[in-house]
């Protein structure tokens, strides 16, 4: 559930999205994209949550901006991005950020 990232610096892609109603193949695609991302060079982990209001936040962590660019350009991921714009999302927004530091881990060992 929590991503076990290495010490900073590293990069985060913060993807905020609002789903359209109905599944329309979304869950299967989302699982597939998580599998595929995890096999990309420079992948460090992912954390994802979607509330009952439909707003979701997925943060994926990467070693470098070049790794993020390569993942964005992945052919199967490109197809998913296209279908996301067309079908799955009412709206979405992406931010790329450099993680500079982390808070204390008072709950080390948590799930």
For binding to a second copy (CB under 8 A), which residues are involved?
1-3, 5, 8, 12, 14, 16, 18, 47-53, 55-57, 59, 65, 85, 89-103, 105-107, 109-111
**Beta carbon nearer to a second copy, 37 or 59:** 59
**14 has which bridge partners?**
59, 95
**Beta carbon nearer to a second copy, 35 or 100:** 100
Name the DSSP letter for residue 1: -
Q: How far is the CB of 75 from a second copy (least distance, A)?
A: 18
Residues constituting the chain: 111
**Beta carbon nearer to a second copy, 36 or 99:** 99
Q: How far is the CB of 88 from a second copy (least distance, A)?
A: 11
Residue 60, helix vs strand vs coil: strand
What is the C-alpha to C-alpha distance for residues 68 and 82, in angstroms, rounded to an integer? 17
Per the CB < 8 A criterion, the answer to whether 44 and 3 are in contact is yes
């Amino acid at each position: 559930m929590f991503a076990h990232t290495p010490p900073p610096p590293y990069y985060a892609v913060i993807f905020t999205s609002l789903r359209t109603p109905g599944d329309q193949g979304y869950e299967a695609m989302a699982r597939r994209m998580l599998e595929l991302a995890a096999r990309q060079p420079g992948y460090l982990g992912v954390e994802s949550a979607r509330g009952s209001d439909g707003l979701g936040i997925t943060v994926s962590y990467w070693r470098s901006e070049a790794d993020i660019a390569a993942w964005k350009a992945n052919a199967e991921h490109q197809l998913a991005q296209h279908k996301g714009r067309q079908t799955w999302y009412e709206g979405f927004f992406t931010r790329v950020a450099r993680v500079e530091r982390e808070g204390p881990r008072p709950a080390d060992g948590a799930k």
